[in-house]
């Protein structure tokens, strides 16, 4: 997949809403507030493809259209999808407008995102959380899209999905989990391929709401009003192109912010291209994870199929799950879609 994350720092009309809008709070909701699930996908549905972060070259998303066609879905492009403003997919107001319009459009059943890179955090204050909250829909992506997914969950208590981007590879493994979670709505168990090993940090099982995404994006959001509450959650993170000392620094930030002390379980996915420039002068990633996570005495492991990789899970943010750190599995306790 082509994500350009390190290089980048890697037509909807507003449909009239016939029913009265419910009051969706602009402040973060309590973790005890009822979670709302989007409707599952069905053959014949129309999905939106928008770009809330970095820009796409047209060739990068051509495989996405073919996959959607095979899944029986029609694709509607955001009005500003191919816009470009430096490394961003257009001006902030226009990218935010495409997000709002996709949620307001009654013909759209799910929202996919084209590229990660950087840019989602810039548009969070411009989103209409009333429209989003009153029109629960599948919205999916990863990398920089983490900011969008966590903000929507924090502000509306709507399940969002950490999964492939429009520019992702969409391997059979990846498509299979998209179908199981978004179409079939099963209580899926996420389990690594046999050739992808996990390293247990803390043994045992735990239950909680699954929350997470790209580590550097989460760390950059600390102190903002767009992060959810972390009590009794299962935190998952992934990273790309960051040296080990930077991973250490970001985990330290989560520790100092009190986040790590609140979670019930921890999953580190894949850290792609995270080798130290001078290995002989560096801690290893397993050492850093052990230093930060083992003292928490919670179930935890490293190596889940989450991140900037060819084959990846579809993870519902806000959904109750049970994890097993010995086997490295994530089990949905119920369907993530209605």
Looking at 140, 170, 200, the residue that finishes a domain is 170
- Residues 146, 9 share a domain: yes
Q: Let me know: does 150 contact 209? Beta carbons within 8 Å.
A: no
294 vs 271: CA distance, rounded Å = 19
Note the pLDDT tens digit of each residue in 257-298.
999 999 999 999 999 999 898 999 999 999 999 999 999 999
The pLDDT of residue 139 is 98
Q: What is the pLDDT confidence band of residue 32, given thresholds at 50, 70 and 90?
A: low
Prediction pTM value: 0.91
Is pLDDT above 60 for 23? Answer: no
- Residues 105, 164 share a domain: yes
Q: Is 238 a residue of the active site?
A: yes
282: CATH: 3.50.30.60
Name the active-site residue from 80, 130, 162, 308.
308
Q: Let me know: does 283 contact 254? Beta carbons within 8 Å.
A: no
Note the pLDDT tens digit of each residue in 201-212.
999 999 999 999
User: What domain range is 157 assigned to?
Assistant: 5-14+43-170
Name the active-site residue from 80, 162, 168, 238.
238
Q: What is the largest CA-CA distance in the chain?
A: 64
From residue 137, alpha-carbon distances to 93, 150, 261, 281 in Å are 21, 14, 32, 47
The structural domain count of the chain equals 2
Given the DSSP bridges, would you call strands 300-302 and 199-202 parallel, antiparallel or unpaired? antiparallel
Note the pLDDT tens digit of each residue in 59-89.
999 999 999 999 999 999 999 999 999 999 9
Q: End-to-end alpha-carbon separation of the chain, Å?
A: 31
Instruction: Say if 24 falls within a structural domain.
Output: no
> How is residue 307 written in tokens?
């991140």
The pLDDT of residue 33 is 75
Name the active-site residue from 60, 80, 130, 143.
143
- Residues 278, 209 share a domain: yes
Mean pLDDT of the chain: 92
The pLDDT of residue 34 is 84
The pLDDT of residue 6 is 45
DSSP 125-152: GGS-HHHHHHS--EEEE-GGGHHHHHHH
């Amino acid at each position: 997949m082509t994500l350009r994350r390190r290089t980048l720092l890697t037509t909807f009309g507003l449909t009239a809403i016939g029913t009265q809008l419910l009051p969706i709070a602009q402040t973060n909701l309590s973790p005890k507030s009822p979670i709302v699930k989007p409707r599952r996908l069905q053959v014949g549905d129309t999905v939106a493809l928008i770009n809330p972060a970095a820009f796409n070259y047209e060739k990068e998303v051509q495989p996405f259209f073919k996959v959607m066609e095979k899944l029986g879905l029609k694709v509607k492009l955001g009005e500003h999808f191919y816009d470009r403003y430096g490394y961003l997919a257009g001006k902030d107001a226009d990218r935010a407008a495409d997000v709002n319009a996709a949620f307001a459009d009654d013909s759209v059943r799910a929202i996919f995102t084209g590229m990660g890179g950087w840019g989602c955090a810039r548009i969070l204050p411009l989103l209409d959380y009333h429209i989003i909250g009153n029109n629960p829909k599948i919205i999916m992506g990863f990398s920089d899209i983490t900011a969008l997914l966590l903000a929507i969950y924090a502000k509306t208590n709507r399940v969002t999905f950490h999964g492939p981007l429009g520019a992702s590879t969409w391997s059979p493994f990846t498509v299979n989990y998209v179908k199981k979670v978004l179409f079939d709505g099963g209580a899926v168990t996420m389990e690594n391929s046999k050739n992808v090993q996990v390293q247990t940090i803390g043994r045992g099982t735990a239950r909680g709401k699954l929350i997470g995404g790209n580590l550097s994006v989460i760390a950059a959001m600390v102190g903002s009003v767009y992060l959810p509450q972390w009590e009794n959650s299962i935190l998952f993170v992934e990273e790309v192109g960051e040296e080990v000392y930077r991973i250490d620094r970001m985990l330290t930030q989560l520790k100092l912010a009190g986040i790590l002390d609140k979670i019930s379980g921890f999953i580190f996915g894949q850290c792609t291209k995270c080798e130290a420039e001078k290995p002989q002068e560096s801690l290893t990633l397993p050492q850093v994870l052990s230093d930060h996570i083992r003292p928490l005495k919670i179930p935890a492991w490293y190596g889940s199929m989450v991140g900037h990789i060819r084959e990846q899970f579809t993870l519902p943010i806000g959904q109750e799950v049970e994890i097993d750190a010995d086997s490295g599995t994530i089990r949905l306790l119920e369907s993530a879609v209605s």
